[in-house]
Amino acid sequence: MTRRFTWLETLRLAVLAAAFVFVLFPIVWVALASFKTPEQMSEPFLFAFAPSLANWQAVFASGVFAAAGRSALVGVITVAISLVVGSMGAYVIAKYRAGGSLTRFGMLAAQVVPPAVMVFPFLTMAQALRMTDTLAPVIFAHLSFVLPLVTWFLIGFFEAVPASLEEQARVDGFTRWQAFRLVVLPQVYPGIGAAGIFGFTLSWNDLFYGLILAPGNAAILPVAIANFNTFRGVQIGTMSAAIMIAIIPVVIASFFIQRRLVQGISGGAVKY
Amino acid sequence: MASVTFSKVGKAFGSTSVVSDLDLELTDGSMTVLVGPSGCGKTTSLRMLAGLEQVSAGTIHIGDRDVTALEPKDRDIAMVFQNYALYPHLTVRENIAFPLRAKKTARAEALRRADEIAESLGLGALVERKPKDLSGGQQQRVAIGRAIIREPAVFLFDEPLSNLDAKLRVETRTELLRLQRQLGITSLYVTHDQEEAMTLSDRIVVMREGRIAQAGPPGEVYRRPADTFVATFVGSPKMNLVDGTVTGGELRTESGVRISVGGPQASSVTIGVRADDLILTPDADGAAVVELVELLGPRAIITVRSADQQLTSVVEAAALTEITVGATVGLSARDVHRFDAATGRRLDA
C-alpha cells in the first residue's frame, strides 16, 4: 500500500530538511575547507576540487594535538569531579529534597551569569596561587558550569529510582552509603554515562575561560584553534582542519547520548 | 529468633500524629498481623520496627536489645516490600545472596546458599534471570528468598501479596505460612485485607487512627469484637449493625425494623449480627424484602431491606428456592453482639 503525504507532513519534512541543511552546511563547508589550498579558499562555493592534505599536515605539526590532549585532560578531570560530587548532590536533592527547591533550581543560576563576570575572580585567584597558564584554573572554571549541569541532569534519574530499593538495602544490612553505592548508583549508570559525555562536551567546547586563564603553553584546543587567527590574517585552511579535530568527538558523543540528553535536561520532568 | 516489644511507641509527622501509645508484644516465633484501613498507622508501625522511620516517643526492643535508635542494618531483620524491591541490576541468584555480602560471607559460599534457597522456592531454573524477566509471583518468591537467607531475628512483611492476582495470592499465603511455621521466625505482617489477616495470624492486631482497636487470636477477635469498628472490619460479608431497643426478645427500630434476637431487655443498643447468623424465614408478614441474591457456589449472599436498613445474610444455596428477589422474609438472629449505641464499645466485654 502506498502512503500519501498530507500537506502537513510535507511541510514538516520541508522544515526538517531546511534545519538539517542549516545545521550541517557549516560543518560540511569547514570539512571541505580543510582540504583546500589557499588559492581554492578564495572560492567559497567551490565544492569539487582536488583535495590537498597540506592543511592537515600543518595542523599535525602545529601542536593542535597536544592542545587536544590538554583539552581531553581538562574534560576528563572536570567530568570525574563533577560526577562524583554531582551524583551525591543530585541524590540528596532527589531523595531528601536537600536545600529545598531554591537549591534545585538555583544551581542553574551559574548558567545565567555571563562567564565574563566569573573569569576575573578565577584569574585573580590563579595569579595569587601562581597558577596562571596552567590547567588547574581552567578545570576550576569549567567545574563552575559543568558541575551544576551534571547535578541537575542527574536529579531526574535518581528520582526514578524507587525509595524502597535503598530501604531494602538498608534492611539487608548495608549502611546508607553502601546502599547508595551498591544499589542506587547502578540504577542510574545510563544517566551517569550520559551526564559524563554531556559534561565533557561542555568542557571541550569552552573557549572563553581557556583563552583568559591559560592562553600560552597550556592552551586547550579551542584556544589553539583561535591561534590560527594570526597577525598575518586567519589561516582558514589549517583552522578548518583543527576545527574538524574538535568537532569529531562531539558529534560521536552526541550520537550516543541523544535520547538520555533529553531525559536529563528536562530534569526527569518528561516521562520516558 | 526473638520477641519484639513496642512500648508506648508514638510517631508524628510534624503536628500530625500517625501512631500513638502503641504497646504491642510479638512473642518469639509468632506471626502477628497488623490490619486496618489505609492511614491507620500499620505500615508506619512496621517501618518503625524496621528502623526506616524514627519513633517520636517510646521504645522498641527486639529480644532484650533496645533497637529504638539503631540503624536498620543493625537490627537483624529482613523485610519483604509490597513492590518486592528486587535489585534490578542483579540476577535472581545475586539478589538472594545480596544480604550475605553485608555479612562479609565469601562470595562462593553466598551464591551456593542462594542456589539452595532458590531451589527450595522453586526458582532453581531462574537463578540467572534478572527481575524484569520474572512474573509477579516469581519476583515475590525471590524477595522471600532474600529475606530468609539472612536468618534474621524478625521478618517484616509489608502487604507482600497485594500485587498478586487472587488465585496466586491464596497459594502464596499458604506457602508463606508454611515457611514461617517451618523457620519459626518472629514475624510482623501488615495488610489491609482482613481475610489475609485472619488466615495468616497467630495474633491479629486491628488498628484504627494510630491506635490498637483490638489485639488477640483471630478467632477471638472474630467472635468477640471489642467495638463496632472491629466488628465491621473483621469478617466478610461485614457484620450487620442495627441501632434500636430490645423488648420481648425482639430488636425494634423507630423506622420499623424487627429482628428476633433473644436476650435481655435493652434500650439504645447497637445489635451486631454476622451474616452467617442472620436467619431468613420465608414469611408473608415478615419485616424484610429480598433485594439481591449473589450466588457463591454452595452458598449465597442475600441482601435484604427492612425499612431503612440494608442487611446481609449468608444462606445455603438449597434455600434459594424460597428466597428469591422480591420475597418477603422474617428476620431472626442466631447469635448477637451487643454494643453501646453511643460509644460503640462491646457491652459484655
**Residue carrying the nine cell digits 559524563:** A196
Q: Which residue has the higher pLDDT, A122 or A250?
A: A122
Q: Does residue A32 lie in a domain region?
A: no
Q: Which residues on chain B are in Cβ contact (under 8 Å) with A164? A: 81-83, 85
Look at residue B248 and give its three-state secondary structure. coil
Question: Given CB atoms, is A162 within the 8 Å cutoff of chain B?
Answer: yes
CATH number at residue B112: 3.40.50.300
User: B33 and B151 in one domain?
Assistant: yes
Say if the Cβ atoms of B85 and A162 lie within 8 Å. Answer: yes
Residue finishing a domain among B179, B198, B233: B233
Residue B246 lies in a domain: yes
Taking CA atoms, what residue in B is nearest to A165?
Answer: B85
Q: In A, which residues are within 8 Å of B73 by CB distance? A: 170-175
Q: Give the minimum alpha-carbon distance from B78 to chain A in angstroms, rounded to a whole number.
A: 6
Instruction: Tell me the C-alpha distance between B201 and B188, whole Å.
Output: 9
Same structural domain, B128 and B255: no
Whether B36 and B133 map to the same domain: the answer is: yes
Say yes or no to pLDDT of A271 above 50: no
Please tell me the least confidently modeled range out of A36-40, B74-78, B142-146, B245-249: A36-40
Which pTM does this prediction carry?
0.82
* DSSP bridge partners of B316: B299
| Closest-approach residue (CA) in chain B for A187 | B89
Min distance A148 CA to chain B CA atoms (Å)? 28
Q: What is the ipTM of this complex?
A: 0.85
What length is written for chain A?
272
**Within-domain flag for A270:** no
Question: Per the structure, how many domains does chain A have?
Answer: 1
Domain identity same for B266 and B176: no
Cross-strand pairs, B211: B208
pLDDT band at A266 (very low <50, low <70, confident <90, very high): low
User: How confident is the model over B41-60, as a mean pLDDT?
Assistant: 95
> How is B270-325 classified by DSSP, letter by letter?
EEEE-GGGEEEEE-TT-SEEEEEEEE-SSEEEEEEEETTEEEEEEEEGGGGGT--T
* B166 and B191 assigned to the same domain: yes
pLDDT in tens, A17-75: 999 999 889 889 899 989 988 888 777 777 778 888 888 988 888 888 899 999 999 99
Burial string for B236-272 (b: 16+ CB within 10 Å, else e) reads: ebebbbbbbbbeeebbbbeeebbbebeeeebeebbbb
Is residue B348 domain-resident? no
Which of the two residues, B239 and A41, has the higher pLDDT score? B239
In a shared domain, residues B128 and B256: no
Instruction: Give the sign of the dihedral formed by CA A207, CA A210, CA A212, CA A214.
Output: negative
Using CA atoms of A154, A155, A158, A164 in order, give the dihedral in degrees to the nearest 10: 170
**How far off is chain B from A191, nearest CA to CA, in Å?**
15
| Rounded Cα gap, residues A88 and A101, in angstroms | 17
CB contact under 8 A, A174 and B50: no
| Separation in Å, CA of B204 to nearest CA in chain A | 24
Question: What amino acid occupies position B62?
Answer: I
Is residue A227 domain-resident? yes
Domain of B55, in residue numbers: 4-233
Is the Cβ pair A172, B102 closer than 8 Å?
Answer: yes
Q: Which candidate from B50, B52, B73 shows the least CB-CB separation from A175? A: B73
B139 and B250, same domain (yes or no):
no
Q: What does pLDDT average to over chain B?
A: 92
Domain co-membership, B12 together with B138: yes
Q: What is the pLDDT of residue B90?
A: 93
Task: Please confirm whether the linkage preceding A137 is cis (ω < 30° from 0).
Answer: no
Which of B217, B233, B249 terminates a domain? The answer is: B233
Residue of B235 and A107 predicted with greater confidence = B235
Which domain-ending residue is among B216, B233, B250?
B233
Nearest to B72 among A170, A182, A186 (CB): A170
pLDDT of B255: 82
A43 in contact with B, Cβ within 8 Å: no
Instruction: Considering only the beta carbons, identify the residue of A162, A168, A178 that sits closest to B79.
Output: A168
A272 in a structural domain = no
Q: Count the domains in chain B.
A: 2
Give the C-alpha distances (Å, rounded to integers) separating A221 from A63, A242, A272: 9, 8, 36
Q: What number of residues does chain B have?
A: 349
Q: Please tell me if residue A192 touches chain B, with a CB cutoff of 8 Å.
A: no
Beta strand pairing call for B240-247 and B266-273: antiparallel
The CATH number of whichever domain residue A196 belongs to comes to 1.10.3720.10
With CB atoms and an 8 Å threshold, state whether A173 touches B73: yes
Measured between alpha carbons, how far is B303 from B38 in angstroms, rounded to an integer?
27
Tell me the H-state helices in B155-253: 166-183, 194-200, 218-223, 228-233
The reply to whether B74 and B42 lie within a common domain is: yes
The verdict on residue A89 lying in a domain is: yes
Residue B346 resides in a domain: no
- Tell me if A38 is assigned to some domain: no
Give the gap in angstroms from C-alpha A170 to the nearest C-alpha of chain B: 6
| Three cell numbers written together for B112 | 551456593
pLDDT at B199 over 70: yes
Residue A193 CB-density burial (10 A; 0-12 exposed, 13-18 middle, 19+ buried): middle
Q: Is residue A171 part of a domain?
A: yes
Closest CA to A154 of A114, A115, A184: A184
% of chain B surpassing 70 pLDDT: 99
Query: Edge-to-edge strands of the sheet including B57-62?
Result: B16-26, B4-13, B57-62, B65-66
Q: Are residues B150 and B10 in the same domain?
A: yes
Confidence of residue A269 (pLDDT cuts 50, 70, 90): very low
Beta strands in chain A (DSSP E): 229-230, 233-234
Residues 6+ apart with CB under 8 A from B35: B42, B190, B191, B192, B193, B194, B196, B197, B204, B205, B206, B207, B233, B234
Note the pLDDT of residue A268: 46
> What pLDDT score was predicted for residue B231?
95
Interface test with A, best of B44, B62, B87, B96 (most A CBs within 10 A): B87
What span, in angstroms and rounded, lies between the C-alpha atoms of A53 and A35? 6
Alpha-carbon gap: B338 to the closest alpha carbon of chain A (Å): 44
pLDDT at B260 (0 to 100): 86
Chain B positions in Cβ-Cβ contact with residue A174 (cut-off 8 Å): 73, 102
Question: Residue B151 in contact with residue B184, Cβ under 8 Å?
Answer: no
Cβ atoms of residues B32 and B221 within 8 Å: no
Rounded mean pLDDT of A142-170?
92
Q: Identify the three-state secondary structure at position A228.
A: coil
In a shared domain, residues B217 and B197: yes
- Indicate whether B253 belongs to any domain: yes
- Asked if residue A28 is part of any domain, the answer here is no
Give me the total of CB pairs closer than 8 Å, taking one residue from chain A and one from chain B: 58
Q: What band does A267 get if pLDDT is binned at 50, 70 and 90?
A: low
* Contact check, Cβ <8 Å, A174/B77: no
CB B114 within 8 A of CB B50: no
Residue B178 scores a pLDDT above 80 = yes
User: Dihedral of the CA atoms A160, A161, A162, A163 (nearest 10)?
Assistant: -120
Amino acid at site B270? T
Find the CB nearest A171 among B50, B89, B103. B50
Is there a domain that residue B69 lies in? yes
How far, in Å, CA of A187 to CA of A90, rounded? 14
Q: Residue A270 has what pLDDT? A: 38
A187 touches chain B (CB under 8 A): yes
Interface test with A, best of B53, B73, B84 (most A CBs within 10 A): B73
Range of the domain at A169: 62-265
Shortest CB distance from B73 goes to which of A165, A174, A187?
A: A174
Shared domain for B197 and B267, answered yes or no, is: no
Per-residue pLDDT at B15 exceeds 80: yes
